[in-house]
Amino acid sequence: MSAVAQIFAIVAGLFHVGAFILESVMFHRPGVQRLLVGRAEMSPAVRLWAFNQGFYNLFLGAGAIIGAILWVSGADMPGRTLVIYTATFMALCGVVLFVSDRTLWRGMIGQSTPPLVALAAALAA
């Protein structure tokens, strides 16, 4: 089961790195703004929020990927611990997304499913 946990931790990490790219690198594009917040005209405060949120996602995704790499490399305890922490964090953030706006259920599924699979597999390992 640890291979499943490692693979899904990497998938979840890549999802969050992708969110970083959208929020911090490409947010100035109207199509990205529509995708993330539903409209193409954003105030400077929203742009600043998205930029900072993107870095949270980058660091969280990096943690999951680094945890999986550590685990595969033989550093079982630190790698597994990092995967469990980041997977739990990601899955709970998906729940918060859904609770804050129930129309965002698709985003919750995309954000929460890979880390939930990683978490279940890591806890079973």
- C-alpha–C-alpha distance, residues 3 and 14, integer Å: 16
Burial, 69: exposed, middle or buried (Cβ in 10 Å; 0-12, 13-18, 19+)? middle
pTM of this prediction? 0.89
What's the pLDDT at 42?
A: 72
HSE value, Cβ hemisphere, 13 Å, CA-based, for 83 = 35
What's the pLDDT at 28?
A: 86
Confidence check: pLDDT of 1 > 70: no
What's the pLDDT at 115?
A: 97
What's the whole-number mean pLDDT along residues 98-110? 90
Ordered by start, the domain boundaries in the chain are 2-124
Instruction: Convert the pLDDT of each residue in 59-98 to its tens digit.
Output: 999 999 999 999 999 999 999 999 999 999 999 999 999 9
